[in-house]
Structure 1
Amino acid sequence: MTTSSVLSMARRPLAAAVLFALLAPGAALAATAKEKELEARIAQLEQQVQALLSAQQQQQTQIVQTQSAVTEVQAAQKAAPAVPAGKQPIQSTTIMTAANPGTAFSYGGFIKMDAMATDTSDGKIADGSSGRLFYLPSAIPVGANSARSGDPYTDFHAQFSRFWLSADHTTDSGDKFKAYIEADFFGGGNNALVGNETSTNTYAVSLRQAYISWNNWLAGQTWSNFQDVAALPDAVDFVGTTDGTIFVRQAQLRYTKGPWSFSLENPQTTVTPFLNNGARFNTGDNVAPDLTARWLTKGDWGHFTVAALVRQFKYENVATGQDETESGAALSVSGKFNIGKSDDIRYAVNGGKGIGRYLAFGLGSDTVQAADGSLEAIDGYGGFVAWRHAFSPKVRTNLMYATAMFDNDKALTGFGVTERSQSWHANVIYSPFPKLDIGAELSWGQRQLEDDREGDLKRIQTHVKFSF
């Protein structure tokens, strides 16, 4: 073996060692980079897993909270007072947030459109006045010359459309409370733009009733306890038998027990000046309220009732210092008598001293002034009878007669005051669907003065009425 061969063999291990020494750091560096990459990926995976676990925990918490809320609502619904019988809830929670829990709210009324043509013998009823809207005997013109009557005139209106709201509540102990308010669009204030028939025909809301009741007690404005609303005829006109009808709504305090009811009601005195020298006026001087008492009996046959009224009249003349008082009393007997399933008779007989403003929308005065300024109550009488017949569930007819008369002392009132009025009414009402009425009514009315002058009214009236 030569020296070169030996040297060659010695160089190979050395070269291998040198080569290893040179490659080892690179391999070590490569291993370190992969580990770091793997560690980074593992850390990223851990973060993603942690995020998933956190989202799952939040979702689970929300589910638990929702289940708890549902359980609370279900428990509250079970604990809430039951809705009174006959009252169906329109939503799961009360719509009367300020009312006692369990209060039932109700709403109703009707839309009524009236169209009428009127012919009066002694001049026209003033345009825009109440007599153009419904039969009002005091509005019938009376004059000496019937040639002034002119042509008939027509009126359309919807002012008697009505709505009401009621809140009824019964306590756990059985006490019954009611709050009721009712309004229409007749009698509201007018101005140049409101209530005119030139363009807008808009009318103000007018309060009819507003009262609260607690068991047997009632406080607020409603029909007078002296009036029998249940005996009113089925008329197309607002009232129909206005002449003989007691018709008053006013503030009062009323107590009802069984068939008996008693009330203290808002007082007012109407006065006709001596010899009718000036317009009738209200004094507003009363101290004592009007007192009423009523007894009622009813059954399948209908109902019968008797009512009494006691009043004080007062007028204080501030200019002269004169203070005059007078008293009055009246009686009303009324009812409804059913004749089989298709017919009924409705009636009323009313009379007394100082009945004036209660009868026929104040056709007569409560009192008249004497020459010395003292007051004298005027006697008045009135009544009506109405027959109702149903041809079928969809068609019915009514025939009515009413009258009123006043025993005026002509030495005090003069001869220009109303002595009497009377009217006839006949109608047919068709109801093609429940709550929808389409009616037509013929009316004849007459007003007569103490000097025997009289004026007549002839009217044909139609209406479309939908109750809800």
Structure 2
Amino acid sequence: MKPILKFFLITLMSAGALGVQAATDDERIRLLEEQLRQQKQVLQAMEAEIQRLKAGQPATVAGSQEEPQAPASVAAADQSTDMEIDLYGHIQLDAIYDFKRVDPDWESTLRPSTIPVDDGTFGDDGNTVVSVKQTQMGFRGRAGTPWGELKTWFEFDFFGTGSDAGQTKFNLRHAWVELGGLGFGQTNSNFMDISIFPNVVDWWGPSGMAFNRNPQVRYTWLLDRGEFALALEKPNGSFNSGIFGEISPEFGERATDRTEYPDLTAHWRNEFDWGHYQVAGVVRQLGFETRGTPDNEPNDDEFGWGLNLTGAVNTVGRDQLKLGLVYGEGIASFMNDGGVNLAPEDNEAKAVEVTGVTVYYDHYWSDRWSSSIGWSMHDNDTLDQMADSEFQTGQYASTNLLYTPYPNLLIGSELLWGNLENVAGEDGDDYRLQFTFKHKFGKSL
């Protein structure tokens, strides 16, 4: 019982006792002495309680006992489950003046494959585009476990793709989990090197670099200066029926790609004081079939493969020269823009030969001013039975001037040029000027 409560109870009891007529004077004296003794004990207890409160010590509760401590290993495991979460993102506005026109679904970025080869296809020259599609948000989590560090990554923007192309809609970029060397979910393909993506503000970027975010399972081994990684990735097939689709529209509608096995990708990366280099490869099974026909014929299978050699060289200060060379057969779906994996030739399917080149230089004038300038090209080999309108070569070039008045704010302008050439040799180009305003934010939760 708390001392203060006990004091009041004794006082009340004493008052009641004093109200009772004692039989003799000796009994009254004995009762008064007993009351004084009890009140003295209560006052001593109250004084001790006041001193404890001043010292900030915990109270001792009758009947309680100290809980046994968990073993150190168990305590560490419980503590390790606490995940640190970082929220980050940016709000971005792009104001673009397109001196010509591109496919309206992709007017918020420059993709060479969307440039028309015939004037007026998408309207008269000149178009203003204002977009917030590059606005982005993400979460990163970290936690220790007995099997290594657990990392999670979830990121999205609002650049609608696929059936949502042209709309400001949710677009998943990363949904990724790593535990030690094991990773699974969707993230950058194991075949690509995001480190060579230049310091540009256009959303799409160089057409000649390998760039693909893919669902995958990956395992990474850390090396002295870098890493080696193997992955099984979602196969992304693409088949073009070529002139057969023009001759037989029914075949063109029924013929579709077939992806029986996952793609196997690997990369080996080494980092040095002067920069880094990365060698990546992919092997894949490609095929097509005709739906709704006996045995799904005609059908065919092909072998696809590719190599991606990339690197960045540190030059002066923070400046970097970024280089990439991609070559292979049937790997157009790994490229940043344009092309098909399979096309008809001699009444069979053939893996289309692909070459990609990227050369960019990032320069920092000061802590607040920077620029990037470069060129990129993606070329597909032409096959005799390809449709004339099919993508053959896409080129992309840009230069910019970016200003960062303080770390979380970027203001910049970028001049871009793109060119498309189709199988028939027809070509079209586009010029655009982009102004970008971007504010970053972040918070540890």
Task: Give the TM-score of the pair, scaled to structure 2.
Answer: 0.77
**Deviation of residue 269 (structure 1)?**
1.2
- 2:285 matches 1:285: no
Change (3 A) 1:382 1:246: same
Q: 3-state SS of the aligned residue for 2:97? A: strand
**Deviation of residue 461 (structure 1)?**
1.6
In 1, the alpha carbon distance for the partners of 2:63 and 2:399 equals 67
Q: 3-state SS of the aligned residue for 2:326? A: strand
Output the amino acid matched with 2:103. I
Q: 3-state SS of the aligned residue for 1:244? A: coil
Output the amino acid matched with 1:379. E
Listed as ranges, the matches of 1:146-185 within 5 Å are 148-171=123-146, 175-185=147-157
**Native 8 Å contact 1:125 1:139 kept in 2:** yes
Output the amino acid matched with 1:101. S
In 1, the alpha carbon distance for the partners of 2:410 and 2:371 equals 12
Counterpart in 1 of 2:331?
Answer: 355
Q: 2:432 aligns with which of 448, 452, 459?
A: 459
In 2, the alpha carbon distance for the partners of 1:288 and 1:108 equals 36
Listed as ranges, the matches of 1:63-102 within 5 Å are 63-65=58-60, 101=80
Output the amino acid matched with 2:236. Q
**Deviation of residue 319 (structure 1)?**
1.4
Q: 3-state SS of the aligned residue for 1:186? A: strand
Identity of aligned residues (%): 23
Change (3 A) 1:190 1:245: closer
- 2:301 matches 1:325: yes
Q: 3-state SS of the aligned residue for 1:432? A: strand
Counterpart in 2 of 1:245?
Answer: 209
Counterpart in 2 of 1:396?
Answer: 370
In 2, the alpha carbon distance for the partners of 1:138 and 1:393 equals 36
In 2, the alpha carbon distance for the partners of 1:400 and 1:432 equals 25
**Deviation of residue 245 (structure 1)?**
1.5
**Native 8 Å contact 2:102 2:114 kept in 1:** no
**Deviation of residue 416 (structure 1)?**
0.8
Counterpart in 1 of 2:98?
Answer: 119
**Deviation of residue 207 (structure 1)?**
2.7
Task: State the Cα RMSD in Å.
Answer: 4.2
Q: 3-state SS of the aligned residue for 2:239? A: strand
**Native 8 Å contact 2:108 2:129 kept in 1:** no
Count of aligned positions: 404
- 2:24 matches 1:49: no
**Deviation of residue 314 (structure 1)?**
2.2
In 2, the alpha carbon distance for the partners of 1:104 and 1:53 equals 50
Q: 3-state SS of the aligned residue for 1:49? A: helix
**Native 8 Å contact 2:255 2:289 kept in 1:** no
Q: 1:298 aligns with which of 250, 256, 271?
A: 271
Change (3 A) 1:55 1:342: closer
In 1, the alpha carbon distance for the partners of 2:422 and 2:136 equals 34
Worse-matched range after superposition: 210-219 or 285-294: 210-219
- 2:82 matches 1:106: no
Consecutive unaligned residues of structure 1, counting only runs of 5 or more, are: 1-30, 83-97
1:345-386 Cα shifts (integer Å, max 9, x gaps): 00111121111111124x1011124585x4221111111111
Change (3 A) 1:207 1:453: same
- 2:186 matches 1:216: no
**Deviation of residue 247 (structure 1)?**
0.8
Counterpart in 2 of 1:450?
Answer: 423
In 2, the alpha carbon distance for the partners of 1:196 and 1:248 equals 19
Output the amino acid matched with 1:140. I
**Deviation of residue 195 (structure 1)?**
11
Larger radius of gyration: 1
In 2, the alpha carbon distance for the partners of 1:177 and 1:344 equals 31
Output the amino acid matched with 1:335. G
**Deviation of residue 100 (structure 1)?**
6.1
In 1, the alpha carbon distance for the partners of 2:62 and 2:410 equals 52
In 2, the alpha carbon distance for the partners of 1:348 and 1:56 equals 80
**Native 8 Å contact 1:217 1:254 kept in 2:** yes
Listed as ranges, the matches of 1:180-199 within 5 Å are 180-187=152-159
Listed as ranges, the matches of 1:366-405 within 5 Å are 366-369=341-344, 372=347, 374-405=348-379
In 1, the alpha carbon distance for the partners of 2:439 and 2:255 equals 35
**Deviation of residue 285 (structure 1)?**
3.3
Change (3 A) 1:436 1:210: same
**Deviation of residue 271 (structure 1)?**
0.8
1:290-336 Cα shifts (integer Å, max 9, x gaps): 11222222211001111111111122323122242111111111110
**Deviation of residue 425 (structure 1)?**
0.5
Output the amino acid matched with 1:215. G
Change (3 A) 1:65 1:165: farther
In 1, the alpha carbon distance for the partners of 2:59 and 2:346 equals 90
**Native 8 Å contact 1:274 1:371 kept in 2:** no
1:107-131 Cα shifts (integer Å, max 9, x gaps): 143213131323253x4532xx2x2
**Native 8 Å contact 2:417 2:429 kept in 1:** yes
